[in-house]
């Protein structure tokens, strides 16, 4: 790998890390934000709906926003969001989560589109960085709050400093974008187009936009989106639906006795409270995501529906464990959670690698941003279903003399 490629990889690794770390921290803090009585999917819903909304709308307008403007908006929204999340008032906290979610969704579309210009090395860096966000976010939150006993408010405010790392974007070489963009334009279009760094469109120039009515533009964009549904978006949505049902609805009920005679000697030493089990699951999940997103490009999977099927099996296993208490030791469950994260990360990296390899160059930038709708849509569906699934599982456990899901 050349020095330039290493530099691109490192920058995109950092962008992926920062873009996702706040999202991960918020989900890790879900049990502290809403407490043991409210469904953790309430936090997931606030953490994904704004992100999904911006992704759904972005194909229709994002080509008109310069990349430099996008970066400054990411820094602003992220910092404001995490500041508000640190408040104890639930409404203010959920408002902050929404700001952070908007930033995360907008950032994912932005940087995935940029990988069109820097090719696979940038996608590998971005993917690995988003996986690293899980490790940094989940583990650091667990260490700060569970080991060093840092107050939740202060711990959340510490993370509000990280978004300023987006400003490293301005260290990228804009010539890579200009040369790639110009190669896709007609000669007369290039002469008229005055490009600032990274101020580019999907496939239409400003001149061609003026020839279309809004109705024609929307219709054309919907047709481009429709073509991406079955090969990329549907399997990615399914994987994320299954894994986030596990993460936010089922795993809070995958508990084991801590303060009773039933406590097994095989229980991990760091399980002091029931929240510690939930946070540990989150960390293991993110570890699996990090490994597969970092090295998934080494083992290519073209058929994305295979990964969706395997993730469905994981969901069935965890629901059966929650309902019937099949395993009386957490280690088997911890392995399943790690494997679940591994499959999720593999689905993500293979989906976008397939796009880079299979789509025409003039469609790649649009496709990279548009397909990112799929993972957020899957998470959104999981949040809605989880609002009913977690209370149902918990209610059954209480009636089965396993009231741990109601304890802290």
Identify the CATH number of the domain in which residue 37 sits. 1.20.1250.20
Residues recorded for the chain: 408
Residue 166 near residue 12 (C-beta atoms within 8 A): no
Q: What is the total count of domains within the chain?
A: 1
In a domain, 376, yes or no: yes
Nearest to 285 by CA among 344, 352, 245: 344
Task: Give a yes or no: residue 330 inside a domain.
Answer: yes
CA–CA separation, 267 vs 264, rounded Å? 6
Q: 311 lies in a domain?
A: yes
Q: Determine, yes or no, domain membership for 186.
A: no
Q: What is the pLDDT of residue 175?
A: 58
| SS3 labels along 328-342 | CCHHHHHHHHHHHHH
Q: What is the pLDDT of residue 317?
A: 98
**pLDDT of amino acid 207:** 47
Residue 1's alpha-carbon distances to 140, 148, 272, 372, in angstroms, are 31, 40, 46, 28
Produce one character per residue of 320-344: b if its CB has 16 or more CB atoms within 10 Å, e if not.
ebbeeeeeeebeebbebbbbbbbbb
Nearest of 32, 308, 245, 4 to residue 152 by alpha carbon: 32
Report the alpha-carbon distance of residue 407 to residue 61 in Å, rounded. 47
190 within a domain of the structure (yes/no): no
Structural domain boundaries, residue 16: 7-178+217-406
pLDDT number for residue 299: 87
- What pLDDT was estimated at residue 4? 87
Is residue 360 situated within a structural domain?
yes
Distance CA 10, CA 232 (A): 27
Q: What is the pLDDT of residue 50?
A: 94
Residue 2 counted as domain residue:
no
Residue 295: per-residue pLDDT: 92
Q: Which helix (H) or strand (E) holds 308?
A: helix 304-324
Sequence-distant (6+) residues with CB within 8 A of 165 are 14, 17, 18
pLDDT means over runs of 10, the chain (408 residues): 88 95 83 74 86 94 91 95 87 90 95 92 95 85 82 87 93 66 47 41 48 77 95 97 94 86 63 82 89 90 96 98 94 96 96 94 93 94 92 95 88
Are the C-beta atoms of 292 and 345 separated by less than 8 Å?
yes
Token pair for 268: 């991990």
Residue 208 inside a domain? The answer is no
Q: What angle do CA 178, 19, 146 make, to 5 degrees?
A: 160
Nearest 10 degrees: Cα torsion 38, 237, 373, 223: -140
């Amino acid at each position: 790998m050349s020095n330039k490629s290493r530099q691109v990889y490192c920058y995109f690794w950092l962008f992926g890390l920062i873009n996702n770390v706040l999202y991960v921290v918020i989900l890790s803090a879900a049990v502290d934000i809403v407490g043991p009585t409210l469904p953790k999917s309430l936090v997931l819903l606030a953490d994904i709906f704004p992100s999904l909304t911006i992704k759904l709308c972005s194909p229709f307008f994002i080509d008109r926003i310069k990349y430099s403007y996008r970066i400054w908006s990411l820094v602003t929204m992220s910092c404001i969001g995490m500041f508000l999340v640190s408040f104890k008032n639930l409404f203010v906290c959920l408002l902050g989560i929404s700001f952070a979610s908007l930033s995360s969704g907008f950032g994912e579309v932005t940087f995935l589109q940029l990988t069109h210009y820097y090719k696979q090395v940038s996608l590998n860096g971005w993917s690995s960085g988003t996986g690293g966000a899980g490790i940094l976010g989940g583990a650091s939150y667990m260490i700060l709050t569970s080991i060093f006993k840092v107050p939740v408010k202060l711990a959340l405010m510490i993370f509000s400093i990280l978004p300023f790392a987006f400003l490293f974007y301005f260290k990228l070489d804009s010539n890579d974008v200009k040369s790639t963009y110009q190669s896709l334009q007609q000669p007369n279009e290039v002469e008229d187009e005055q490009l600032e760094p990274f101020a580019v469109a999907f496939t239409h120039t400003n001149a061609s936009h003026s020839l279309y009515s809004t109705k024609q533009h929307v219709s054309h964009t919907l047709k481009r989106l429709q073509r991406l549904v079955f090969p990329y978006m549907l399997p990615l949505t399914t994987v994320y639906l299954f894994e986030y049902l596990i993460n936010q609805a089922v795993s809070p009920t995958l508990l084991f006795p801590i303060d009773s005679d039933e406590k097994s000697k095989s229980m991990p030493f760091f399980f002091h409270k029931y929240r510690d089990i939930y946070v540990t699951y989150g960390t293991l999940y993110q570890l699996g995501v990090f490994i597969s997103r970092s090295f998934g490009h080494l083992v290519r999977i073209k058929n994305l529906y295979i990964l969706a099927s395997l993730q469905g099996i994981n969901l069935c296993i965890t629901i059966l464990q929650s309902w019937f208490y099949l395993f009386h030791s957490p280690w088997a469950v911890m392995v399943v959670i790690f494997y679940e994260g591994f499959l999720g990360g593999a689905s993500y990296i293979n989906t976008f690698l397939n796009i880079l390899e299979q789509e025409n160059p003039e469609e790649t930038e649009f496709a990279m941003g548009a397909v990112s709708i799929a993972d957020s849509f899957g998470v959104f569906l999981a949040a809605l279903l989880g609002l009913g699934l977690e209370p149902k599982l918990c209610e059954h456990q209480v009636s089965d003399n396993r009231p741990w899901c109601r304890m802290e």
